[in-house]
Amino acid sequence: MDHLMTGFMDVLNPGTILWVAAGVTLGYILGAIPGLGKATGVAVAIPLTFYLTPVAALGMLIGIAKGSAAGSAVSAILLNTPGEPSSAPTALDGYPLARQGKAQKALKMGLFASVIGDFVSTLILILLAAPLARYALLIGPVELCAILLFSLTFIGGLSGGSLTKGLIAAALGVFFATIGLETETFIPRLTFGLLELEDGISLVPMAIGMLAVAEMINQAGNMKALDRETSAISDSAAHEDRVITRVEWRRSLPVIARGTLIGSVIGILPGLGASVASFLSYGATKNASKTPEKYGTGMIEGVAAAESADNAVVPSSLVPLFALGIPGSVIAALLISAFVLHGLTPGPLMFQQQPRLVAAVYASMILASFIMLIIGYTCQRLFAQIIKVPLRLIIPGVLFLCCVGAYMETGSIFSIYVMLFFALIGFFSRKLDFSFVTFLIGFVIGPNLEFTFRQSIQLLGSDITNLKHHPISIVFIVLTLATAWWTGRSNSRKAVVK
Amino acid sequence: MRRANIVSGIMLALFGLVMLFAVIPWQIETAPPGFVSPRLVPNITMVVVVVLALLLVIANWRAPVNGDDAENASPIARVELMALLRIGAIFALSIALFRWVSSLAAGASLMVVTLLTLGERRPLPLVAIPAAILLATWFLFYKVIGTEIL
């Protein structure tokens, strides 16, 4: 608690508040525009934070992630086009509400549910991460290697439609992470004589290419359909559209509580992601309702259920990152590079080595929740106008910012080449349904996986029977095999058909 | 998607085999005695890729054929492929301008040519959007943050 108070003192200064607010605003706008989103926003913004103080930089990035999770409801409600896939269930009732002239009501409920879900989930992160990290410190390299392998299999099985494709993406991610000087022998690996590759491939240009540039190319190919929907928006000025009544609040609060719980639990489990949480919460709310047939026709509880779960995922997905150093989502994977860049290595040791900075991150997360409420409430009409801007006017600016972001990482045009190479991979992985999320997470945990694997070989004396002295690792190896079997069985049909 | 899965599976299997038998032995030296080979993890990942890619090919090859057009349809529409080629060409132009003219010309051309390619013909957005973004970037880095990025 003392550290948290110190964290608030570090955060509550005009400079940091301004950057967190800038992050939330930028995130809200990116989230509201279909096709952009939190991953794109965070990837492009990481280089912009190079010159900020660690607290301001991390606060801004967290603000972008939180703001875009909330902002994606705007286009889901007004356009029936979710800013991110996780807001698809929001559109099921939000869009019918908008068509009934109740857009402002739906937008407000989306915002309030988002803020409550996000805030409670942040508290869960604060309460859970440090105690879990204490247990994580007892884990050795053999156990950690097994846990990382399990996480990668779990994410690979659940991130896309096919376990086979998910695992291929994960293996390719780990493979690309091996490029550069090998850490024990300093032998260059797959550098082709290029000095720029000796330090390995940098995550920032890779992520910008795979997430942002590839998505912009994708949007450029589907621009006409999106622009048609954008031009069809019409505003309603009726007074009743702008308020949530007391009765609606009474009906929605238990729904928000359930959505927050579902989102927080799903967020903690690596690989499931916000889409699973929001659909699960929407489904649970519909099943629990006395009038399930009304869902999909404009029920305010539908918006509350989806948005509370969607936003609860962002903070709780940082629990495995903070406690174990394992990124459970693409945002967590991107935040690792930002954390390391600003002197905070995610994992159990950070609570001992950098308690003040961790507390400041927590404080900035809570601050971002409140700023999200203020900005979302006061600028709702403005954000609703922004999504009317045609995509053809947005794409060129985003591509330019991608180049600036990638270039800033090394100050060399080589980063632009890296960005373009991975943009190509990202484009084809989207189209062929190979999970780029699993690829990126494989790339991020690759060095740690290899390091602990090498240590395990030495500790076990290259004899697999010595695993009997490491029961935790046996549990996770069995879990890995069970996950592979279970997910492989459940989506084997999809692998063939998709 | 069935046909796309078979093609992508074959391509990935070939990629893995080329890596295993040509690129990894050529690009990664063997380790001194007593060290774990630096080729170990790259080799393992490529073996995984080859095995899974072959599984993907076999599973789709053996799947019952419905005679559905969607089975053999390309997952990439022609318009998307054209967008990829166009944006690729725009980047090539901008990189050339960056190397041989100036960064300002590269940035401006990236935005103006993309706007033109995406169908924008009005003079005001064609001038105002690149100018505003370049000015805002300059102001953010050189004035607010106080650092030279070029």
Q: What does residue A189 show for φ and ψ, rounded to 5 degrees?
A: -120, 125
pLDDT digits (tens, 9 = 90+) for B87-105: 999 999 999 999 999 999 9
Does residue A167 belong to the interface with chain B, where contact is any CB pair within 8 Å? Answer: yes
Chain B hits for A187, Cβ within 8 Å: 28-29, 31, 38
Per-residue pLDDT, A498: 45
Tell me which DSSP letter residue B30 carries.
P
- Find the CB nearest A184 among B35, B77, B83: B35
Helix locations, A80-208, DSSP H: 88-99, 103-136, 141-159, 163-177, 203-207
pLDDT tens-place values along chain A, 498 residues long: 677 788 888 888 888 899 999 999 988 887 777 666 677 778 878 877 877 888 888 889 888 888 888 887 887 787 666 667 677 788 888 878 877 778 888 888 999 999 999 999 999 988 888 888 777 777 788 988 898 888 888 777 766 668 889 899 999 999 999 999 988 888 999 999 898 899 899 888 888 888 788 888 888 877 776 666 555 555 556 666 667 888 888 889 999 999 999 888 888 876 666 777 887 888 888 878 888 888 888 889 999 998 999 889 888 888 888 888 888 777 888 888 788 888 888 888 888 888 888 888 889 999 999 998 998 888 877 777 776 778 788 889 889 988 888 887 778 899 999 999 999 999 999 888 888 878 988 898 888 889 889 989 888 887 888 888 888 899 989 988 988 887 767 655 554 444
Q: Do B45 and A178 touch (CB under 8 A)?
A: yes
B12 pLDDT above the threshold of 90 = yes
Query: Domain boundaries in chain B?
Result: 2-72, 78-145
Supply the range of the domain harboring residue A438: 2-497
Contact A147, A132 (CB under 8 A): no
Q: Do B59 and A492 touch (CB under 8 A)?
A: yes
Chain B hits for A403, Cβ within 8 Å: 94, 107, 110
Mutation site, B2, B36, B50, B60, interface A, largest A CB count within 10 A: B36
Greater confidence (A38 vs B123) lies with B123
Q: Do B79 and A221 touch (CB under 8 A)?
A: yes
Structure tokens belonging to residue A306: 């989806």
Chain B hits for A401, Cβ within 8 Å: 133, 137
Q: Do A168 and B52 touch (CB under 8 A)?
A: yes
Helix locations, A203-290, DSSP H: 203-207, 214-221, 223-231, 246-268, 273-288
Chain A hits for B95, Cβ within 8 Å: 413, 416
Q: Do B91 and A434 touch (CB under 8 A)?
A: no
pLDDT digits (tens, 9 = 90+) for B56-79: 999 888 877 766 666 677 788 888
Per-residue pLDDT, B115: 93
Q: Do B38 and A400 touch (CB under 8 A)?
A: no
Q: Which of B48, B62, B49, B53 is nearest to B10 (CA)?
A: B53
CA distance B36 to chain A (A): 7
Residue A257 sits at the vertex; the CA angle it makes with A251 and A262, to the nearest 5 degrees, is: 125
- Find the CB nearest A187 among B28, B55, B98: B28
Q: Do A497 and B63 touch (CB under 8 A)?
A: yes
Q: What does residue A199 show for φ and ψ, rounded to 5 degrees?
A: -85, 5
Average pLDDT over residues B8-17: 96
Per-residue pLDDT, B105: 94
Per-residue pLDDT, A497: 47
Strand partners, A181: A188
- Find the CB nearest A217 among B8, B23, B83: B83
Q: Do A223 and B2 touch (CB under 8 A)?
A: no
CA distance A99 to chain B (A): 30
Does residue A399 belong to the interface with chain B, where contact is any CB pair within 8 Å? Answer: yes
In 10 A of CB A99, how many CB atoms? 14
Chain A hits for B81, Cβ within 8 Å: 221
Does residue A453 belong to the interface with chain B, where contact is any CB pair within 8 Å? Answer: yes
Q: How many interface pairs between A and B have CB atoms less than 8 angstroms apart?
A: 170
Q: Do B130 and A420 touch (CB under 8 A)?
A: no
- Find the CB nearest A221 among B80, B114, B140: B80
CA distance B45 to chain A (A): 5
What's the rounded Cα separation, in Å, for the pair A361 and A200?
28
CA distance B47 to chain A (A): 9
Residues composing chain B: 150
Q: For the CA atoms of A129, A130, A132, A138, what is the dihedral angle to 10 degrees?
A: 140
CA distance B105 to chain A (A): 12
Per-residue pLDDT, A225: 66
- Find the CB nearest A431 among B75, B111, B147: B75
- Find the CB nearest A164 among B55, B98, B111: B55
CA distance A51 to chain B (A): 7
Q: Do A492 and B28 touch (CB under 8 A)?
A: no
Number of domains in chain A: 1
What's the rounded Cα separation, in Å, for the pair B106 and A264?
45
| CB < 8 Å from B in window 177-206 of A | 178, 182, 184-185, 187-192
CA distance B130 to chain A (A): 7
Structure tokens belonging to residue A109: 């409920």
CA distance A137 to chain B (A): 26
Q: Which of A232, A252, A321, A229 is nearest to A114 (CA)?
A: A252
Contact A104, A90 (CB under 8 A): no
CA distance B90 to chain A (A): 10
Amino acid at A275: S
